[in-house]
Structure 1
Amino acid sequence: MTCLLGQTAIYERTTKTVRCVECPSDVATDEGDVAVENESASVKPVSELDAGVAGSSARRVYERRKAKDEERLRQKRGKLGGIAVALSDEKQSTKAWATGAVGEERLGAWLDSLVSESIAVLHDRRIPGTKANIDHIAVKTAGIWVIDAKRNKGKPELRMEGGILRPRVEKVLVGRRDCTKLVDGVLKQIDLVRGLVGDVPVTGALCFVEAEWPLIGGAFTTRGVHALWPKRLAKMLAEADGSVDVPAVRQTVATHLKPA
């Protein structure tokens, strides 16, 4: 990244500020604004600031739930509350949010490494009117990818059920867990994004970041949604080219789907 004076700058996520490495101290940047001593500078956005932070909303939910769990335990145990908190295990329902956040963060790092003039990435976008979010959106010249990151353990597989007496249906299993509803969620996200971008192709993916994938094969598609792992996803994003105006489409999506 460079600052407005053409020098190297660093975006610090923790403080949400842009710090110039080489500029003197009288040049400061904050939330995309640039202030120069004795000069009234105009506000200019820094493109990185609207990309979102992978896993941020899941991480916030985890921290809130953890704090509430600890507070309830302290109230219940009184003077021994601190010891009880130190010795107790986190609730599985609370820990699941941290697990999900880590999965989104790891996949987000993979996707950020692919960013170029032909690929743009948005993270953790809130779905309007709900508390739900889209984990990742990749905009490339061939179209848009809506990506749901999952950290499920076990081997992902597509299983066909039904037959002569029952309709045949596709089920997604990870280990022994039925994850078919995850596909339904991605399909809804695809419809939402498609409504924003018109004729731009939209593809969906379930990316299992820590699943037990075989050395050969393993990836599959169900109802048009790809089930795969980060490296395979990166390869597919690098394939196929098109004529989509990446900056314009990215701006449209970012404007309608704000960071969560």
Structure 2
Amino acid sequence: MSAGNSAAAHAAQVGRGRLWQRLLAGAGYITPGYAQAQQQARSWGEGAVGEAWTKKLLAPLAGESWWVLHDRRIGDRANLDHVLVSPCARLVVVDSKRWRADWPVRMARGRVCRGPVDVTEEVAKAGRLAEWARQTVGAESVLPIVAVHGAPVAGGGFQEGTVAVLPADRLLAELRSIAGQQDPRAEELAAKANRLLPRYVQ
């Protein structure tokens, strides 16, 4: 399953809503629940596009001794957009976000905001999932990254707790800067990640 497929499938599933909601919508009456389902579907659809864009950005790393895994499951229902192992055996977990271009992403009073919306919890969740992945595969450390498509990111990127929040166009340069020297443990770590973080199937 390619990156973004689980998000796209979820978007389609959520967007359909319940049968009675679809029938009412066909008759011109939109229930609050159906409207909410449509909004959620749009959000998941945008997420799927962001994941696909990030997958394309990461493609060159496959020829640079990186291991790159996309759309991986952790636990019963959570998924990791992109899991990478660097040549120096460092685990990296990238969470893709596609956010509206007219809402800058910035720190404000100790909170992460995109325009007027507080997204601190979304960023913190990316950090928690990355740490969970680290524990699952037994890596020594993990670098969680939120890669932002669309919206400008203040200062060209910033750190919130353990999580690096970066504009997507800086992602590749940031990863290359931490590639380090080839470590024979990297292949073993990548094999464990591939086995213990299976492909996400919606």
TM-score (norm 1): 0.66
Q: Alignment length, in residue pairs? A: 190
Residue 238 of structure 1: aligned partner: 176
**For residue 10 of structure 2, what is the amino acid of its counterpart?**
V
- Is the counterpart of residue 134 in structure 1 residue 74 in structure 2? no
Give a deviation string over 1:12-51, Cα, whole Å, max 9, x none: xxxxxxxxxxxxxxxxxxxxxxxxxxxxxxxxxxxxxxxx
Distance change >3 Å, CA 199–CA 58, structure 1 → 2 = closer
**For residue 211 of structure 1, what is the amino acid of its counterpart?**
A
Task: Give unpaired runs (5+ residues) of structure 1.
Answer: 1-51, 162-169
Q: Secondary structure at the match of 1:118?
A: coil
Q: Give the one of 156, 160, 181 matched to 1:218.
A: 156
1:45-84 counterparts in 2 under 5 A? 52-68=1-17, 71-76=19-24, 81=26
Which 4+ runs in 1 deviate beyond 4 A?
none
1:96-135 counterparts in 2 under 5 A? 96-129=43-76, 131-135=77-81
Q: Give the one of 194, 199, 202 matched to 1:254.
A: 194
Higher relative contact order, structure no. (Cα contacts within 8 Å, ≥ 6 residues apart): 2
- Is the counterpart of residue 92 in structure 1 residue 30 in structure 2? no
The answer as to whether partners of 1:74 and 1:84 remain within 8 angstroms in 2 is no
Q: Percent identity?
A: 28
Q: Secondary structure at the match of 1:146?
A: strand
Cα-Cα RMSD: 2.4
Paired with 1:205 and 1:213, the residues of 2 have a C-alpha distance of 13
Paired with 1:84 and 1:64, the residues of 2 have a C-alpha distance of 21
Paired with 2:133 and 2:22, the residues of 1 have a C-alpha distance of 44
**For residue 143 of structure 2, what is the amino acid of its counterpart?**
T
Q: Give the one of 95, 113, 123 matched to 1:173.
A: 113
Aligned-pair distance for 1:236? Answer: 1.1
Q: Which structure has the greater CA radius of gyration?
A: 1
Paired with 2:83 and 2:106, the residues of 1 have a C-alpha distance of 24
Distance change >3 Å, CA 244–CA 178, structure 1 → 2 = farther
